[in-house]
Amino acid sequence: MKPANVYDVAAAAGVSTATVSRYFRSPEKLSQATLDLVREAVDRLGYLPSGMARGLAERQTGAVGLYSFSGHEPDELIDADRAADSEGPVRPRLYPLFADEVLRGVELECTLRRLPLVVGWQLGREAGISLDEIARRVDGVVVLPSTISEAQLAQLAKTKAVVLVSQPGGGRDGIDSVVVDNEGGMAALAEHLVHVHGVRALWYAGPENGYEHEARRRGLDSALARAGVPLPGPTVVDAGSRAASREIAARLLAAEEPPRAIVCASDQTALGVMEAVRAAGHRIPEDVIVTGFDGIDAGRLTDPGLTTVRQPMERLGRAAMGLLAERLADPGLGPRNPMLPVELLLRGSCGCGDGRPASISVS
């Protein structure tokens, strides 16, 4: 039997559909007697107003969206069933990752603001959910770094509010953004390595595409240049891929002398690199220092702990959703593009942190 609609309820209560609508939208405009009448009919029929019809009529969905890459590799996800529930010193699957923590912040903000959240994950290039599937259901969407082209984003921004996370909004109309100080964080890390640990020869591992990684590389290079240390060559490594990890190991074995440090563009890459360094027979940090970027939880659980630059991930999510909510409330706002500070986390993998990890605020 198909669910009741306004007409059914109106007929059952002996009122008009407008009155039934008012019962939900502006009960204060109805008399007590009418209220009771409608309530009875609603309860009896188990009536739940359709969000689709309501959205159509109101010309807005009343919901917000989050679109993200999954952070995991497809095959890893498919196998997740097996991996998820085992336990050990090293987790079989990394969690929570950057995207998970940002999501938590977004959810939190949505809960506080009473906004239903529609989430969708991109998985690899083709799998998962498309941004359009999310966007068509919401008034505005927070977009995490994903393989969405600038053009698509600009197109979308014409009809929906868009807030970019970890990608510069570029002052484009209708596109807000929130980023962290990637450049400053990486520069601070580089200075630490050079001045405290005397590092003068290092490798850089990480994908070189994308705004975040470019900013990090820039921070690294400028700090090294200032310190008079030769810049590392480009090392392209796909974060998380086992092949990349093997490649690093092979390069280490092939090298006449291993670098004093390997600076990675992300913690996930760094965890793979740590494995590779050990596979090549070197000790961390005595032979090779390894550093990451992000501050995911897994970096605390390795031995030694991973020295890294921590992004305020949950805050990033909250800020992004906050910007979105504000824009929805006032579309006239100019573009906002805040930058959040990061924090240098010194743990064992750089040779610091005998005892508790130290943390240093940057920017």
DSSP category for residue 14: T
CB 145 within 8 A of CB 216: no
Of 24-32, 74-82, 91-99, 223-231, which segment contacts DNA by CB under 7 A? 24-32
Which residue in the set 12, 42, 47, 107 belongs to the binding site for DNA (CB under 7 A)? Answer: 47
Smallest gap from residue 109 Cβ to DNA (A): 25
User: Exposure string (b/e) for 259-297, b if CB count within 10 Å is 16 or more?
Assistant: bbbbbbbbbbbbbbbbbbbeebebebbeebbbbbbbbbe
Does 15 bind DNA (CB under 7 A)? Our answer is: yes
What lies within 8 Å, CB to CB, of 26 at 6+ separation is none
Q: Of the two residues 6 and 261, which places its CB atom closer to DNA in the complex? A: 6
CB 122 within 8 A of CB 146: yes
Of DNA, a second copy, none, which one sits near residue 156, judging by CB under 5 to 8 A according to partner kind? a second copy
Smallest gap from residue 114 Cβ to a second copy (A): 6
Does 130 bind DNA (CB under 7 A)? Our answer is: no
Q: In 3-state terms, what secondary structure has residue 257? A: coil
Which residue in the set 27, 29, 40, 111 belongs to the binding site for a second copy (CB under 8 A)? Answer: 111
Which residue in the set 14, 29, 56, 173 belongs to the binding site for a second copy (CB under 8 A)? Answer: 56
Does 357 bind a second copy (CB under 8 A)? Our answer is: yes
Does 315 bind a second copy (CB under 8 A)? Our answer is: yes
Residue 91's Cβ-count burial label (10 Å; 0-12, 13-18, 19+) is middle
- Which residues make beta-bridge pairs with 180? 340
Of DNA, a second copy, none, which one sits near residue 124, judging by CB under 5 to 8 A according to partner kind? none
DSSP string, 137-180: TSSEEEE-S-S--HHHHHHHHTTSEEEEESS--TT-TTEEEEEE
Which residue in the set 24, 39, 112, 173 belongs to the binding site for DNA (CB under 7 A)? Answer: 24
Residues forming contacts to DNA in the complex (CB under 7 A) are 2-3, 5-7, 14-22, 24-25, 29-31, 33-34, 47, 49-50, 53-54, 56-59
